[in-house]
Structure 1
Amino acid sequence: MSFLDTVAMKLLPIANAIGNQRHLQSIRNGLISILPLTIVGSFFTIVLNLPIPGYSEWVAPYLAALDVPFRFTVGLMSLYASFTIGANLGGSYKLDKITSGFLAMLATVLMVVPINLAEGVNQSGEAVAAGRYLPIASLGSQGLFGAIIAALVAVELYHFTKAKNLEIKMPDGVPPVVGESFGALLPTLLVILLFWIPRHFFGFDLNGLLTIAISPLKGFLTGNNLLGGVITQFVICVFWVLGIHGHAVLGPIIRPFWDQAILENAELFQGGMSAFDLPNVFTEQFYQWYAQMGGTGATLALVVLFMFSKSKYLKQLGRLSILPGIFNINEPIIFGTPIVMNPLLAIPFILVPIANTILVYIVTALNWVPKMMVKPPFSIPAPLGALITSNWNWVAFVMVFVCFFVSLAIYYPFFKAFEKIQVTQEEQAQVEEA
């Protein structure tokens, strides 16, 4: 048994346990469910910053109105995420998904302290009636981890009351929707008491506590820490080499940090901060467009090498994989080559994203390219994706091609060695057939 086989056997049970854990799976699926909101909302940031001469002056009178879609999508992402996470966790317990989602939202909103205004004005200078208003900032990216905890706790309370039969049961013949509503009365009361009393009577700020607790990890994984960026790439690629979906395993753990990082950048940029001054370098988009163009391992370069290979199989595989590769889908090349359990190609598969990460980090630290602040679909080709997410910075566009040629240079010697083996096998197969 090879070393890679031994490592895979050791890690596979751990990876499966993480990937199938009920709560982590609900977080991952819940955050994926709100992708349409965050992606479409991010495009309004692009609309406000098109690189057209005179455009900023022309759009200035409409800024307040054009900002609304962003604020009610990305700006409320914690509220939406609480519902989808709660619904997914409730579904895993065979609970009513809608009730689970509403309880999760209720818990999230109860952690927000309303602003009590006697009078005031809005952005347009119009008078605002006196009353209690929820600050939208508390329901944006900064409240994401609080929303996750609130959703999980709320649904666990719901599950507890169901498991212990602590619910109001309606007679037979009552419509299921009505029966489910009455059955949720006690968990609703418990959620209110659990989140309302500590926050509004004792001043317990769960969001503030979580911010302090996770700030070192957030700074390590998504801030400006190069070691964190390198380790992230290394672990994801190693899992893929072992035949384990790296993003599926690490996604439930690291995706909340990625989402919070890019949305924090987006909110600050929308508020007027320069893209060069944004706090988070290592967003998911940084990896997608720079380190992993063509998919994990930056395999687009390998696909191009395959297209001109002397091996008939590799040439055919390259031609079949080029179109998916351009749109950052690389399962055909990973499993068709295969790269999985392939000691020769595993080395550049791991080294290339790390090299690209270090290179672009240096360029970013020198303020030659800005940080990324919008969240377009992952399937956008890398040069265009980097251009859009960097506020139309042409240096970012060029850096994608620099990273591509770096990837080619690293992959090339390993590709030639693998090609030689493949050609020899094909010649032997031809002799045997003859």
Structure 2
Amino acid sequence: MYMAFSIAYCGSDIFKIKEHALGTGLISLVSFLMLSPLTDVPEERLAYLNTSYLGAKGVFVAIFVSLLTIQVMRFFVKKNFTIRMPQGVPEMVTKSFTSLVPAVAIVLLFGVIKLLFSLTSFETATDFIYTLLQQPLQSLTATLPAFLILILISNLLWFFGIHGSMTVLPILMPIFLGYLAVNTEAVSAGEVIPHAINFGLYDLACLGGSGATIGLVANMFFFSKSKRYRAFSKIVFPSGLFGVNEPVIFGMPLMLNVMLLIPFLLTPLVIVSLGYLLISFGIITAPMGILGAGSLPPLVHGIVQGSLSFGIYEIAATLLSMGIYFPFFKALDNQAVQEEVVASELEQEEAAVNEIS
């Protein structure tokens, strides 16, 4: 329900109908509730909303309803198919009447959609989308190979300067939100977490930022010999602890830096695969998959995700990241030291020439 309102509300700004954001959000919410299945109780002669469809099962429906509501509202507003009020009428009343015509049209549209689906074997739009789209996608992303491929794609995009996480996460977001609801129910019941591949494991792939660069910045902070990287590490190491590595990607730079491409692609795959293996054998507990915890440092992130053992593994993953990045970073650091030595010698020669002059 929150998604059905907020996506339409925020999307109104994106599609240049910001003045109708509140109305669009409310109409979207009403349309979502219209499509949500009802449970009949014949003996009591009543029907009520099935709340199971207001959670994980309704994620994709909320997204589709919001996007369609925005476009219909945008069409009516741009074409001026609205009720116009005379001057002097309060702005709040004017906006209410402006949204009235598109509101009726949108509700009628979703009413027709609901009627059409009631004539099919799926009975509801929610069951149709959940059966044909959400369930297959959840099954696909629940496999380690598919998850690793998405991580690899994300990091390749980052290497070329494209925000890989923002490209991949829209695919994973609705699915992982569904996993979170199911995982939370399992934890509340004292059961094993059913979906180990979730936001928590994606955060592990981004330990220190995309490419699991926490090992790179730690190496830079503790083992730099060059003045360049010693100074740079004072900026990137603290930010890397909290999952922010744009300074490394664009400032080092890591983007288009062929010398760091191998560890940048390999490190997340290694630590995620090992973590998943340890979870599969019951050595560590899977994270719940809470959204928005990725900016927390290692160990603390695992504890917040409900797993102390996963948090401890994050410390081990940090050391593993350091080990993978170390030889590649040392090559860059040694190169920087040589450049600084040459630059220093040139400065001394110039100073000597100036003194003679």
Q: TM-score, normalised by structure 2?
A: 0.88
Shift of 1:216: 2.4
1:381 maps onto 2:303 in alignment: no
**Correspondences of 1:220-235 after superposition (within 5 Å):** 220-221=140-141, 223=142, 225-235=143-153
Counterparts of 1:201 and 1:243, CA distance in 2: 46
Aligned partner of 1:330 in structure 2 is 245
Can you list the C-alpha shifts for 1:264-297, whole angstroms capped at 9, x where unaligned? 3223433x15134x1x222122121x32211111
Structural mapping, 1:113-192, within 5 Å: 113-117=37-41, 132-192=47-107
CA contact (8 A) 2:199 2:289 kept: no
Answering whether residue 259 of structure 2 is matched by residue 259 of structure 1, we say no
Using the TM superposition, give the Cα deviation of residue 177 of structure 1 relative to its aligned residue in structure 2, in angstroms.
2.0
Q: Which runs of 5 or more residues in structure 2 are unaligned?
A: 349-357
Q: Report the 3-state secondary structure (helix = DSSP H, G, I; strand = E; otherwise coil) of the residue aligned with 1:382.
A: coil
Contact 1:112 1:138 in 2 (8 A): yes
Shift of 1:364: 1.7
Cα gap change, 1:269/1:195 in structure 2, threshold over 3 Å: closer, same or farther?
Answer: farther
For residues 213-292 of structure 1, what are the structure 2 equivalents within 5 Å? 213-214=132-133, 215-221=135-141, 223=142, 225-270=143-188, 272=189, 274-276=191-193, 278=194, 280-288=195-203, 290-292=204-206
Q: What amino acid is the match of 1:102?
A: L
1:24 aligned partner:
none
SS, match of residue 227 in structure 1: helix
Query: Which of 226-235 and 245-254 deviates more?
Result: 245-254
Identical-pair percentage: 28
| Deviation, structure 1 residue 202 | 4.8
One-letter identity of the residue aligned with 2:174: P
Structure 1 unaligned spans of 5+? 1-78, 121-129
**Between Structure 1 and Structure 2, how many residues are aligned?**
339
Opposite residue 378 of structure 1, the aligned amino acid is G
Could you tell me which residue of structure 2 aligns to residue 212 of structure 1?
131
Distance 1:143-1:175 versus aligned 2 partners, 3 A rule: same
**Correspondence for 1:109:** 33
Deviation of 1:196 after TM superposition, in Å, equals: 2.6
Q: How does 1:358-397 map to 2 (within 5 A)?
A: 358-375=273-290, 377-389=293-305, 391-392=306-307, 394-397=308-311
> Could you tell me how far 1:114 is from its partner in structure 2?
3.1
Q: Which has the larger radius of gyration?
A: 2
Contact 1:263 1:373 (8 Å CA) reproduced: no
Shift of 1:321: 2.0
1:83 — aligned with what?
A: 5
Question: Residue type of the partner of 1:238?
Answer: L
Q: CA deviation at 1:345?
A: 1.0
Residue pair 1:113, 1:200 contacting (<8 A) in 2 also: no
1:227-282 deviations in Å (ceiling 9; x for gaps): 11111111111111111111223333332223232233223433x15134x1x222
Report the equivalent of 2:233: 318
After superposition, the Cα gap between the structure-2 partners of 1:301 and 1:174, relative to the gap in structure 1 and judged at 3 Å, is: same
Q: Deviations over 1:165-221 (max 9, x none)?
A: 322221222223212211222222222222234425752422212222222222222
Hey, what does 2:354 align to over in structure 1?
A: none
CA RMSD of aligned residues (A): 2.2
Which residue pairs with 1:68 in the alignment?
none
Task: Specify the code of the residue in structure 2 equivalent to 1:169.
Answer: R
Query: Does structure 1 conserve the Cα–Cα contact (< 8 Å) formed by 2:267 and 2:321?
Result: yes
Asked if 1:305 corresponds to 2:223, the answer is no
Give the counterpart letter for 1:98 in structure 2.
L
Deviation per residue, 1:102-125 (Å, 9 max, x gap): 1111111111133355799xxxxx
Provide the rounded CA distance (Å) in 2 between the counterparts of 1:101 and 1:184.
Answer: 11
Deviations 1:74-127 (CA, angstroms, capped at 9, x unpaired): xxxxx111111101222223321101111111111111133355799xxxxxxx
CA distance in 2, matches of 1:202, 1:404: 51
CA contact (8 A) 1:241 1:339 kept: yes
CA–CA separation in structure 1 for the residues paired with 2:183 and 2:43:
31
Tell me, in whole angstroms, the C-alpha distance in 2 between the residues paired with 1:242 and 1:367. 38
Aligned match of 2:355: none
Q: What's 2:351 paired with? A: none
